[in-house]
């Protein structure tokens, strides 16, 4: 074989090797990308299965789903503190009303009902059970009335969107628990 042929063959083999190396690198990158995609899809699947399991668990406990949250409507009456404790035992808390639609959802039950609003820490500084201050309210005319021991909020005038009344926390009412859904 002549020197020129050897050099040409060497150049061809070098070129082939380089092309195969590029293809191998591309395949390795594609493999890594696919492994990352599989990992992401597996995590998303597991998260969806967890959410479905939560939905099933809450449904079996009597919770209803509405607008991004699960709600449990009590079937008996108790004071505000025991009502809240029952909600916490269920992995939820007393209802925090953020929208008019949520207020109307609550009023459809047509019962005097505890919600998760109180000023027990400081008079007239209403806070939700999660510690956030009251920004949107649905107080009934003349409420809050600032009576002695009226540190908890009930929905009392359920035929009116503005149905809130401040009341003595020791009164016995129905209550609604809320658990934010992550669906």
For the chain, the domains span: 1-60, 63-180
The CATH architecture one would assign to domain 63-180 is Roll (3.10)
Question: For 72-100, what is the mean pLDDT?
Answer: 95
What pLDDT, on the 0 to 100 scale, is given for residue 142?
86
Q: What is the pLDDT of residue 66?
A: 85
- Nearest 5°: phi and psi at 142? 80, 0
- pLDDT the model gives residue 183: 53
* Higher-pLDDT residue of 9, 1: 9
Across residues 79-87, what is the average pLDDT? Answer: 97
For the question of whether the overall pTM of this predicted structure is more than 0.75, the answer is no
Q: How do residues 120-169 score in pLDDT, each as one tens digit?
A: 888 889 999 999 999 989 999 989 887 678 999 999 888 888 999 999 99
pLDDT at 80 over 90: yes
């Amino acid at each position: 074989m002549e020197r020129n042929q050897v050099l040409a063959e060497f150049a061809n083999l070098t070129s082939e090797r380089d092309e195969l190396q590029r293809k191998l690198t591309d395949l390795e990158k594609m493999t890594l990308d696919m492994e990352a995609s599989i990992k992401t899809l597996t995590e998303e699947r597991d998260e969806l299965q967890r959410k479905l399991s939560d939905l099933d668990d809450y449904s079996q406990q009597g919770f209803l789903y509405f607008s991004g949250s699960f709600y449990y409507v009590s079937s008996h009456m108790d004071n505000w503190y025991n009502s809240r404790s029952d909600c916490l035992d269920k992995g939820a808390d007393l209802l925090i009303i953020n929208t008019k639609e949520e207020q109307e959802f609550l009023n459809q039950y047509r019962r005097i009902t505890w919600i998760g609003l109180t000023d027990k820490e400081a008079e007239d500084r209403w806070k939700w059970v999660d510690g956030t201050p009251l920004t949107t309210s649905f107080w009934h005319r003349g409420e809050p009335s600032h009576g002695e021991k009226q540190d908890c909020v009930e929905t009392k005038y359920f035929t009116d969107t503005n149905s809130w009344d401040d009341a003595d926390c020791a009164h016995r009412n129905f209550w609604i628990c809320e658990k934010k859904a992550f669906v």
